[in-house]
Amino acid sequence: MFNPGSKLYAIRKSKCPRCHQGNLFKSSLFSGQGVYNMHKRCAVCDQDFELEPGFYWGAMYIGYALYTLYMLTAIALLFFGTALTLNQSFALTMLGALIMVPYIARRARVWWINIAIRYNKKIAQKSTLKPLDKKIK
């Protein structure tokens, strides 16, 4: 389920949705080089990561769903699991939401591109033999 070849693997590891080998992002979220610091193309299979201009606008829908899930879960856990009032739980959850903005924004992009592009086993196997890492940098 979480092995190469499954969507969840590519989503969890932020890998190219087509070959599950190339990285989507140039650097870690905590490197300070920007939230949306993505490669233009896959370094392994040459898949274009910006399918059309404004492609990632659709990731807002995924981000909205992820925020909603986070907010409902966090408020419920804080309200029912601690002695906090509903307003205190909401305020603490909002503070956490502000901190999570970059993380959720990246996750939304990863989900969005994985919805649009399917895994291709043949390309993945061929790409393993001839990595294009040097060509793309």
Contact footprint for Zn ion (CB under 5 A) = 16, 18-19, 22, 42, 44-45, 47
- Cβ distance to Zn ion smaller for residue 19 or 66: 19
Instruction: Return the H-helix or E-strand segment holding 137.
Output: none
CB of 47 to Zn ion, least distance (A): 5
- Cβ distance to Zn ion smaller for residue 19 or 38: 19
- Cβ distance to Zn ion smaller for residue 56 or 79: 56
Q: What is the DSSP string of the chain?
A: --STTSHHHHHHHTB-TTTS-SBSBSS-GGGSS-TT-B-SB-TTT--BS--STTGGGGHHHHHHHHHHHHHHHHHHHHHHHSS--HHHHHHHHHHHHHHHHHHHHHHHHHHHHHHHS---HHHHHHHHHS--HHHH-
CB of 50 to Zn ion, least distance (A): 14
CB of 46 to Zn ion, least distance (A): 7
- Cβ distance to Zn ion smaller for residue 66 or 123: 123
